[in-house]
Structure 1
Amino acid sequence: MEFETNHIDQINDLQMNHTGTLLATCSIDCTIKIFKIENESQTLVTKLQGHKAPVWKVRWANPKFGTMIASCSEDGCVIVWGESNGIWKQYFSTTNFTSSVNSIDWAPYQYGLILACGTLNDEIVVITRGERQWSETKWVSFQNGVHCVCWAPFVPEGALTGSSGPVMKTKKCIASGGQDGVIKIWCFNQKDGWVLEESLIGHTSLISSLEWCKSIGMPRSLLVSGSHDKSVIVWSQETSQKKINKQSLQFENQKQQQQKQQQTQFFKWKQQKLPKFSDIIWNISWSLAGNLLAVSSGNNNVTLWEENQDGEWIQAYQEK
């Protein structure tokens, strides 16, 4: 489907809501537009105005929290918009940033209403809605500017329910991509807060897109990154449960046994580069099942990639 948005300048980002009924677009013209999608047709629902500079990203919150969307802009402002009884308004905004906010991403809904932000002056900021107010936690990433952020899924890939026992919940983790081409993975613990757990080096220029695969059907984590160096890298981390000697558990109490039996072993991240692209990479996205990868590049091409039985990513489709 193709239609005219009537933005008066370049569109920087667009995203469908979780049910595929609403499409949000944002533009250099400082506005956000919400369209209702129905029967291959679209209707403009509202035009959101509040930013004073180009709007870089829009992200829908999980519908558990209502009809809500966040936006970030070059003006150093993050706004959370919400709809109630057909009326759209600002639920929250912050201007505490001292530089452009380049990227935003909502945490898995199981953690609550939490938004991660990456800024041009090298800060990562986590904004959390509490019972009465919003709070902020920030730290410096040392990446010469953060261009993209994304959350790890709530349930680790491969932690299946049923025969394997209880679901093992992962800790909160955020991946950030910098202008220096480095990906950093930050994880939260109660003692130290957000700490650097891993630095992934493979790109030689600004990382323009970064997305964690949400599929939970395989015993591994998948993270994909695209860069202005014209490359796309699929990062994988294998996971497996540690084998526990049952005899060693016979003197442990029930709680200690359960904790040990749920231990997961994480292996080193591996990288696999897709064939070199002819232009810079703008955006990458996983399919819901995690078996397809969409890549858009600066030459106005969109390609789809799939993993074959040998673990190689091959091009399946190209749209010009």
Structure 2
Amino acid sequence: MFLPRSIETDHKDLIHDVSFDFHGRRMATCSSDHSIKVWDKSESGDWQCTATWKSHNGSVWHVTWAHPEFGQVLASCSFDRTAAVWEEVVGESNKKLRGQSHWVKRTTLLDSRTSVTDVKFAPKHMGLMLVTCSADGIVRIYEAPDVMNLNQWFLEHEISCKLSCSCISWNTSVSRAHSPMIAVGSNDNSPKAMAKVQIFEYNENIRKYAEAETLITATDPVHDIAFAPNLGRSFHILAIATKDVRIFTLKPVRKELTSSGGPTKFEIHMVARFANHNSQVWRVSWNITGTVLASSGDDSCVRLWKANNMDNWKSAGILKHHWSTVNVGSQLGN
């Protein structure tokens, strides 16, 4: 059974993002108060703040963890037009910090001309890579070629989306049949902005990311976007948070039916659309197996969605505000 707990964060302004590490034992929060806080889960299940620092000179929109294979590493992005990479180290040279861990800024990424609206680490098998998107309509991909030296990050790719970007997601598939792929969402309200979701795929022939698809039915501002973890499916599942929750499948068309050398083409179907929040939806997040989707909206609820054995998506539970739980299925209790 899920037991809700409240946490007094002591953030001085709005909290924009909460991110769990790979094992779910650590948590990072970021806020308009320009700070990041790191929390560790005790044996009793309580969350204790173990680090807090001013990270940017503006609102911090997102914070995200790298895979633990690369150490304890965070990335953040901000209204101050920068993204930053942070590493937890154990103090040695400073007597006051000897034996204690603290967070050190390893690099500041300064390429954006406007607010950096999202940041995500690439799947582990791709190495230590980072993608950012900005209100200037540019997606930027960085790589740290030496994982032992996080001071050096190189800008490897710039992708022009022609729309202000609000959110990004990597496709997590490790199959050799699937090239690296990024979904980009936009909240651009200009008249020229129609479709708000673009899919970019890495093309080995030209060694660049090229646009593979546009989700033409996604015409409302997109606040969040998330590929489901792919543990062997031949197709991809993508969730978007807009004025409702939408779930799409992207099934690759056989190469012999498409032009050779170009990006993969997909059969795209919207398999679910839920307006249960009756409000703007701000976040969508998958469980580790890509079978349960969580969404949060202005109705102060977290809602859970799950497909049955007929691949029909249904409501699987609701966490209401004030943390009263309603209809949370026992299969989700763990």
TM-score (norm 2): 0.81
**1:16 maps to which residue?**
20
* Pair 1:232 & 2:245 matched: yes
Distance 2:8 2:291 in 1: 31
Map Cα deviations across residues 171-193 of structure 1 (whole Å, 9 max, x no partner). Answer: 11111001245211111123431
Distance 1:46 1:101 in 2: 24
* Pair 1:148 & 2:163 matched: no
**2:204 maps to which residue?**
190
Q: By percentage of residues, which structure has more strand?
A: 1
Distance 2:20 2:177 in 1: 27
Which of 5, 8, 11 is 1:7 aligned to?
11
**2:220 maps to which residue?**
205
Please state how far the C-alpha of 1:32 moved relative to its aligned partner: 0.3
Distance 1:99 1:239 in 2: 34
Distance 1:207 1:313 in 2: 21
Map Cα deviations across residues 246-296 of structure 1 (whole Å, 9 max, x no partner). Answer: xxxxxxxxxxxxxxxxxxx96411112323240000100111121111110
* Aligned residue runs from structure 1 range 1-320, under 5 A: 1-38=5-42, 39-85=44-90, 86-131=101-146, 133-136=152-155, 137-143=157-163, 145-156=164-175, 168-179=176-187, 180=193, 181-192=195-206, 193-227=208-242, 230-238=243-251, 267-276=266-275, 277-320=277-320
**1:252 maps to which residue?**
none
Distance 1:75 1:282 in 2: 22
Asked if structure 2 preserves the Cα contact closer than 8 Å seen for 1:31 and 1:51, the reply is: yes
Distance 2:254 2:110 in 1: 44
Map Cα deviations across residues 206-262 of structure 1 (whole Å, 9 max, x no partner). Answer: 1101001113143321111111xx22211112359889xxxxxxxxxxxxxxxxxxx
Where do 5+ consecutive residues of structure 2 fail to align?
91-100, 188-192, 257-263, 321-334
Identity of matched residues, %: 26
Give the length in aligned residue pairs.
Answer: 285
Distance 2:280 2:55 in 1: 31
Give the secondary structure class of the aligned counterpart of 2:267: coil
AA partner of residue 99 (structure 1): T
Asked if structure 2 preserves the Cα contact closer than 8 Å seen for 1:184 and 1:199, the reply is: yes
Distance 1:225 1:242 in 2: 27
* Cα RMSD (Å): 1.9
Please state how far the C-alpha of 1:48 moved relative to its aligned partner: 2.4
TM-score (norm 1): 0.84
Where do 5+ consecutive residues of structure 1 fail to align?
157-167, 244-264
